[in-house]
Amino acid sequence: MKYIDEYRDKEKILLLASQIKKISTKKIRLMEVCGGHTMAIQRFGIPDLLPDTVELVSGPGCPVCVTSRSYIDKAIAFSKLTDVIITTYGDLIRVPGSSSSLDKEKAHGADIRIVYSVLDALNIADANPLKKVIFLGIGFETTAPGSAAGIMKAHLAQLFNFSVFSAHKVMPPPMAALIDEGVDIQGYIGPGHVSTITGSYIYDFIPKKYGLGVVISGFEPLDMMQSIYMLVNQFETNKPKVEIQYSRAVKTEGNIKAQEILNEVFEYRDDWWRGLGVLKMSGLGIKEKYSEFDAEKLYQVDVEPTKEDKGCICGIILKGVAKPSDCNLFGKACTPSEPVGACMVSNEGACAAYYKYKRE
Amino acid sequence: MRNNETILLGHGSGGRLTHDLIRDLFVKYFKNEILQTQGDSAILNFSNDKLAFTTDSFVVDPIFFPGGNIGNLAIAGTVNDLAVSGAEPKYLSAGFILEEGLSFEYLEKIVKTMAEEADKAGVQIVTGDTKVVERGKCDKIFINTSGIGTLFPNTEGIVMGDHIQIGDKIIINGYIGDHGMAVMSARNNLKINSNIISDCACLNKLIEKALQFGHDVKFMRDATRGGLGTVLAELCEHKSFGINLLEENIPVRENVRGMCELLGFDPLYVANEGKVVMVVAKAYADKILSSLRQHPLGKDASIIGEIVEQHPGRTWLLTSIGGKRIVDMPAGEQLPRIC
């Protein structure tokens, strides 16, 4: 397939593998921040191609995984309001809340619909003027501009039965928090899609302040191998910096238009991350100007007290401190069909990736 | 009957409307001597053959999709279940649950397709049933078909794969994932123009070609819901052998791969309606492959893997870039991802 096969060329990949082996003398742990990378690494069996000196660990870049259970609980509470249609990306539908999940509520009769973009949600709002359509806005800088554009469109069209329940988050704060907490890593495989929007300059503080390299990577195996090579090379030559491997999509300054849309609608706020707790200015709330489209301001609901599952170690897996197979629940009490933690549900979750592709 | 353009509750009443519907639609298209007697049961003639008997229900949204409709599925699904069991499909039943308000034009088109598909496969629809439910109680049309076939000689053990040995080869008769992605792309809420066409087809004539090799075909399964990956994961579960699959040998069309990439799906788990997975003796694998390739439904057949001693109970995929990963049964439906 054009633009895909080129990046799955076995010979080139094996050549890179041998070059990595050649230059890697010291132990190095690299964190792939993005859940899409976690999945690609396992799907293509990349760890098999790396020398013993190079270890990959998964990070906090799976939006569903880091989102609090109270968010799911509140979304479920919204779904029980009369005349409400919940619209959501497929990823969230099976994530367990404290006592239920969106797919269980759907089976009980709540009107919950999977959409592929915020535009689908707008169309549903337009077609159902007597219903209140709530879009579950989840994801990092990748999907946040989409939610923002949705709100701006609704504002323009006076579509007041549309609103967004934002759980949007931004990537740099957890990347800093992980290093501050002393997590043992020597470089970041930077998120590809997020950086398409934000540009690469937002990571400049990582080499400057912490002396760690960041290479923004594409999602194909050749991309990932090249990024690993670049990081190992930085580490071995002691020259940490921000580099863009995914140059066919990412520019230093990013997508200015998308950033403007995001800043028009959202403002930074403190937010809770699974494994990391509350991080300053790490979440995106809807500005006062657009409060008519903010589900949290529009609808008051009683939410059950949040219960996190005991024994689930999603939190430290998201920090790269433990691997999914270190969890006592993994593959036993917690499987994709009966997930305990969010990391087992999401397509991008580390536990789901391990379960699907790597279980021994 | 033609005074009505849509199905009414009365069409399921058992009275005049029902009678007309059966005579003017079902019997007209499915015509054969056994059905025409319109008794409470079809009377079938069998000698002392061993019989295979199967049933399947069909629900699909949308009911018309590129490459077919629910009618093709209802025939091919049951014919293929018989064929992969080593049987020659002979007779089918067809049960319809219709939603009040279904357009007659659609129903006729579906019934006509069923008749054509049955004809191609050489089977007869000899008995049937119709119910009509209130609007909203079913989604347009649900079809159940059951089928009977006579077993070919030398096919015992084929259903469970009892005679599988280390070294046996795994064959698939062509491109995977076409049906699932054709249906996905036809859904209203997904505005993708993919040109993907369902592979829906009766495989019994193709399978007969392989069965000339008798005992050397050791296992067959049609890779429908759950896809190729599920069939193989299931096959070796709790067994004393493992399976190695070669990703680069598995045929996947460009547009199917593209759409899977877009939605975050794995083609290994996408539904097919015209694909059979076979485990065959190593010594005859090439011969069976070339005989399959002589049939239009097998022209893209490929040897995609083998039965191995290592990792018993598990299927491994040797990835196209030289890595490896597990192929397991998926937990549920594949869901599109965020980014």
pLDDT in the model for residue B252: 96
pLDDT, residue A167, reads 97
Query: Is residue A322 very low, low, confident or very high in pLDDT (cuts 50, 70, 90)?
Result: confident
Provide the pairing of β-strand B141-151 with B87-99.
antiparallel
Confidence of residue A320 (pLDDT cuts 50, 70, 90): confident
Chain A residue closest in CA terms to B258: A1
CATH numbers and ranges of domains, chain A: 67-170+254-298 (3.40.50.11740)
pLDDT of residue B13: 83
Structure confidence by residue, pLDDT tens digits, A331-342: 888 888 778 888
**What mean pLDDT is predicted for residues A36-59?**
92
Helix (H) or strand (E) holding B209: helix B204-211
Environment class of B95 (CB within 10 Å of its CB; exposed 0-12, middle 13-18, buried 19+): middle
Q: How many CB atoms lie within 10 A of CB B214?
A: 13
pLDDT at A31: 94
Question: What sign results for the dihedral spanned by CA atoms B12, B14, B17, B19?
Answer: positive
Across the interface, which of B257, B325, B336 has its CB nearest the CB of A90? B336
Digit-coded pLDDT (tens) for A191-214: 999 999 999 999 999 999 999 999
Q: A157: which 2 tokens?
A: 């069209």
Cα separation values, B162 from A308, B215, B217, B220, Å: 46, 11, 11, 11
- Interface predicted TM-score (ipTM) of this complex, two decimals: 0.72
Please report the number of interchain residue pairs, chain A to chain B, with beta-carbon separation below 8 angstroms: 92
Question: Does A91 lie at the interface with B, CB-CB under 8 angstroms?
Answer: yes
Measured in angstroms, the CA of B273 and the nearest CA of chain A are apart by: 24
H-helix segments, chain A: 10-23, 35-44, 63-66, 69-79, 102-107, 118-127, 144-156, 172-180, 192-198, 205, 221-236, 256-265, 295-298, 314-317, 350-357
According to CATH, the topology of domain B169-327 is: Phosphoribosyl-aminoimidazole Synthetase; Chain A, domain 2 (3.90.650)
> What CATH number should be reported for the domain whose range is B9-151?
3.30.1330.10
How far B298 CA lies from chain A's nearest CA (Å)?
23
Any CB–CB contact under 8 A between A347 and chain B? yes
Residues of B in contact with A8 (CB under 8 A): 320-321
Quickly state the pLDDT bin for A3 (edges 50, 70, 90): low
- For residues A198 and A200, what is the distance between their CA atoms, to the nearest angstrom? 7
Per-residue pLDDT for A114 more than 80? yes
pLDDT digits (tens, 9 = 90+) for A257-303: 999 999 999 999 999 998 888 999 999 999 999 999 999 999 999 99
- pLDDT confidence band for A240 (50 / 70 / 90): very high
Q: Phi and psi at residue B159, in whole multiples of 5°? A: -70, -40
Kindly determine whether residue B331 and residue A336, on different chains, have CB atoms separated by under 8 Å: yes
Which residue in the set B189, B264, B322 is minimally distant from A120, CB to CB?
B189
pLDDT at residue number A217: 96
Q: Where are the domains of chain B?
A: 9-151, 169-327
Q: What is the mean pLDDT of chain A?
A: 92
Question: Cβ separation of B331 and A359 shorter than 8 Å?
Answer: no
pLDDT, block means (10 residues), chain B with 339 residues: 74 86 92 87 84 94 94 97 96 96 95 97 96 93 96 88 96 97 82 86 96 91 94 94 96 92 88 97 96 97 98 94 88 64
B163, exposed or middle or buried, with CB in 10 Å at 0-12, 13-18, 19+? middle
Which chain A residues are within 8 Å of B330, Cβ to Cβ?
336
Residue in A closest to B256 by C-alpha: A1
* B104–chain A nearest CA distance, Å: 28
